[in-house]
Amino acid sequence: MFPDDLYYTEDHEWIRDEGSEYVVGITSYAVEQLGDITYVELPELGADVIRGETVATVESVKAASDVYSPVGGHICEVNDFLESRPELVNEDPYGEGWFFKLDSVRVSELNKLMKADAYEAYIKSLEK
């Protein structure tokens, strides 16, 4: 149900190691809970962020929600396409719907995140 090559947070962000950079987005579960995404406010390019810091905002037909950085690092790229096409988050949350990329990541913080099987169990516990 959730890609195996990602790390997940309890706040429903994911992060993928792409070598020198890490890509961050929100999970399909978060997208399902939010409904149709209508607006994405992206983080500031070049900002240094800490784990758990609010870095972006998503608005949908149901609610607005903060997006948190899953680890500390430096925002080296943002997905500008989301400003004009926020529906990409709904259509492809693990691909074209990514939010930002980090470099200078605190790799030790990845160990505090969940792998796919643990995240799936976490989601099941929320649905009880």
- 40-54 pLDDT, tens digit per residue, is 999 999 999 999 999
User: How many CB atoms are closer than 10 A to CB 42?
Assistant: 17
Q: Looking at residue 127, what is its pLDDT?
A: 83
Helix (H, G, I), strand (E, B) or coil at 121: helix
Within-domain flag for 42: yes
Within-domain flag for 58: yes
Q: Looking at residue 78, what is its pLDDT?
A: 98
Number of domains in the chain: 1
What CATH number does the domain containing 29 carry?
Answer: 2.40.50.100
Q: Which of 98, 94, 101 is nearest to 6 (CA)?
A: 94
- 54-106 pLDDT, tens digit per residue, is 999 999 998 999 999 999 999 999 999 999 999 999 999 999 999 999 999 98
- What order of strands is seen across the sheet that includes strand 54-60? 37-41, 54-60, 64-68
Phi, psi of 73 (to 5 degrees): 170, -165
- 5-27 pLDDT, tens digit per residue, is 999 999 999 999 998 899 999 99
Q: Are residues 101 and 76 in contact, defined by beta-carbon separation less than 8 angstroms?
A: yes
Q: Looking at residue 23, what is its pLDDT?
A: 98
Q: Looking at residue 1, what is its pLDDT?
A: 80
Within-domain flag for 84: yes
Within-domain flag for 127: no
Within-domain flag for 70: yes
Question: Residue 125 contacts by C-beta under 8 Å, 6 or more apart in sequence?
Answer: none
How many helices, marked H, and strands, marked E, lie in the chain? Answer: 4, 9
Q: Which residue segment(s) compose the domain that 59 sits in?
A: 6-121
Answer yes or no: is pLDDT of 128 > 80: no
Within-domain flag for 1: no
Answer yes or no: is pLDDT of 107 > 90: no
- What order of strands is seen across the sheet that includes strand 13-17? 6-8, 13-17, 22-26, 100-103, 73-78, 48-49
